[in-house]
Amino acid sequence: MSQQHTAAPATDSATATVAGHRRDWWREAVIYQVYPRSFADSNGDGMGDLEGVRSRLPYLRDLGVDAVWLSPFYASPQADAGYDVADYRAVDPMFGTLLDADALIREAHGLGLRIIVDLVPNHSSDQHEWFKRALAEGPGSPLRERYHFRPGKGAAGELPPNDWESIFGGPAWTRVTEPDGTPGEWYLHLFAPEQPDLNWEHPAVGDEFRSILRFWLDMGVDGFRIDVAHGLVKAEGLPDLGSGEQLKLLGNDVMPFFDQDGVHAIYRQWRTILDEYANKMGPEGPSSEGRWWETGGRIFVAEAWTPTVERTANYVRPDELHQAFNFQYLSTAWDATELRTVIDGTLEAMRPVGAPATWVLSNHDVTRHATRFANPAGLGTQIRTAGDRELGLRRARAATLLMLALPGSAYLYQGEELGLPDVVDLPDEVRQDPAYFRGEGQDGFRDGCRVPIPWTRTGSSYGFGDGGSWLPQPASWGELSVEAQTGTAGSTLELYRAALAARRDQPDLGAGDTLEWLRAPEGVLAFRRGEFVCVANTTGESVTTPAYGRVLLASGEVAETGGEAKVPADTTVWWTAAV
């Protein structure tokens, strides 16, 4: 963890340390995503909660991560699992109270872990006070200006104001019934109808979110993951797309509702707030009580789906956000050539802006990588078939070791350290993903990666809680539990623990922004970083490579003879030249 990193010179305020805690800890941090609904349930209602997360923090410390990002736990009707926020300053009773949030943050800090919370600024819930009043006050209500209300097209306003589609399927507009009972205006929602888009041209919206940032910063959080960071600003006049092919264009083109240049002014403002907090304790940092987390280093990470990694780099210019998720990497197949292209492209794009590259394989919106890699490439990130599980797990373990060897920061999604597959056969009646019910959308099968994680071999919901779990867990999950894998040689959990421990001990891992590619057989990636060498065999055959020193860690069995190593199919090896 960060406290074990070598202290940087105290004169450099950007890297000042308190008890070894670096201000720019995030440049090479491993950040673990907790999905609160599915992590641990303390009160036996079948739904995870903050107290459950708090009680499991020692597990995360022992796993060896630097920070925890929590998906939303705010007051919400849960139309989109909490990404529909009704009150940004309250904890939903389903997850606990503000006091629980406070206890969680304090206890995490006590264990040397940072806490990053999710901020959802693109849209609110339709149960947010502003939206409820906007509806109740009828056309002309000033509250309607904080959202995108428009009259419909057609003789009687019966058609949506433009041709945009919701990411979850169907039109991006819903017509309201006015207080007098007549069909009235339409409002924009890029996601579910219960998630009306906020109008960021309205000054009250910016004021409110700056205040929300301060609220959570005052609570002591170390950063924010910004939901749909690319969506806040819409093109002037909300122009038609003029194409029925929206789903194909998404992610490949700049859309009138995504990745508009105007979003950057918002982030520049937000950055000044964060920097103000970062410097609160003065450039020297340490308070007399040694409260290391107050010495700065609070961060923003953008969820920004953009057409290219170069456009992603715009979000992490020096006066904007600190990190952006690398979805290009997440979407890359287990293929050496494609991986190398994305790795090089990422490092090249980030270097000019001075931001660290980030790497991610799984999150709460995509099929877990153990299942993606169990299926043929090219199926996208929402997969409905289990595929070859053994192959998927072997590749997933290899892919993780490759990711953790790259320069920059890495994101892990809860349960991947157990090698969990997606649950592809959930009965329809238990599904909750709103996209599933709207059909034809981009997503729809996200419940499969949200099944509560197993802690113990047996017992109610395998230790998740005493009252079952909101999504059923497969019977085989007892054997994948934390209990079953702890101390078991070769288990995926022990592989993650060893990898994260090695990352702490090896200064060449994670740090910097370069790597030196080595000659390698086709289908194999090999690179050097200082004394460290990583070889990833993405092929289905074993390959022979030079033995690069002492094997630090491998995702499979490596055999070495006479200076050569036999690396099995779909296996990654870490070597160090150090004795």
Q: Which C-beta is closer to ligand GLC: that of 75 or that of 499?
A: 75
Instruction: Output DSSP code: residue 460.
Output: G
**How many beta carbons lie within 10 A of that of residue 128, not counting itself?**
24
Please give the Cα distance from 150 to 436 (Å, whole number). Answer: 27
* Position closest to ligand GLC via CB: 83
Strands 543-546, 564-567: pairing kind = antiparallel
CB atoms within 10 A of CB 383: 21
Beta strands in 267-396 (DSSP E): 299-302, 323-324, 358-360
- Who's near 289: CB < 8 A, 6+ residues apart? none
SS3 content of the chain, % helix, strand, coil (to 5): 30, 20, 50
* Per-residue mark of binding to ligand GLC, 145-164 (x: CB under 6 A): --------------------
Token pair for residue 126? Answer: 């339709």
Minimum distance of ligand GLC from residue 264's CB (angstroms): 19
| Minimum distance, C-beta of residue 227 to ligand GLC, in the bound complex (Å) | 5
Residue 459 CB, nearest approach to ligand GLC (Å): 29
Name the amino acid, one letter, at 563. Answer: G
Q: How far is the CB of 148 from ligand GLC (least distance, A)?
A: 16
Residues pairing with 559 in the sheet: 566
- Residue 414: closest CA among 122, 20, 36, 43: 36
Give the residue with the Cβ less far from ligand GLC, 365 or 422. Answer: 365
Amino acid occupying residue 185: E
Closest approach of ligand GLC to the CB of residue 448, in Å: 13
Residue closer to ligand GLC (CB basis): 63 or 79: 79
Give yes or no for residue 228 binding ligand GLC (CB under 6 A).
yes
Which one among 24, 41, 80, 92 touches ligand GLC, defined by CB under 6 A?
80
d(CA 378, CA 375): 9
Closer CB to ligand GLC, 83 or 186, in the complex: 83
Residue type, 263: V
Question: Tokens 């056309």 — which residue?
Answer: 139
Minimum gap (Å) between residue 360 Cβ and ligand GLC:
12
- Min dist CB 446 to ligand GLC, Å, is 7
Cβ proximity to ligand GLC, 23 vs 123, nearer residue:
123
Shortest Å distance, C-beta 228 to ligand GLC? 5
Q: Which of residues 273-312 bind ligand GLC (CB under 6 A)?
A: 303
Which residues are known catalytic residues? 227, 276
Question: Which is nearer to ligand GLC, 83 or 216 (by Cβ)?
Answer: 83
Answer whether 370's CB lies under 8 Å from 419's CB: yes
What is the size of the binding site for ligand GLC (CB under 6 A)? 9
Work out whether 83 is an interface residue with ligand GLC (CB under 6 A).
Answer: yes
* DSSP character string of 118-175: EE--SB--TTSHHHHHHHHH-TT-GGGGGBTEE--BSTTS-B-SS--B-TTSSBSEEE
Point out which residues pair with 571 in neighbouring strands: 537
Q: How far is CA 476 from the centre of its chain?
A: 27
Single-letter code of the amino acid located at 339: L
In single-letter form, the type of residue at position 179 comes to P
Show the binding pattern over residues 341-380: x = contacts ligand GLC (CB under 6 A), - = does not. Answer: -----------------------xx---------------
Instruction: Look at phi and psi of residue 367 and say left if phi exceeds 0, alpha if psi is from -120 to 50, else beta.
Output: beta
191 binds ligand GLC (CB under 6 A): yes
Concatenating the DSSP letter of every residue in 27-79 gives: GG-EEEEE-GGGT--SSSSSS--HHHHHHTHHHHHHHT-SEEEEPP-EE---T
Minimum distance from residue 541 beta carbon to ligand GLC (Å): 37
Residue number, 24 or 303, with CB nearest to ligand GLC: 303
Q: What's the per-residue H, E or C state across 185-214?
A: EEEECCCCCCCCEECCCCHHHHHHHHHHHH
When the beta carbons of 80 and 222 are compared against ligand GLC, the nearer one is: 80
Nearer to ligand GLC, 304 or 565 (CB): 304
Interacting residues with ligand GLC (CB under 6 A): 80, 83, 120, 191, 227-228, 303, 364-365
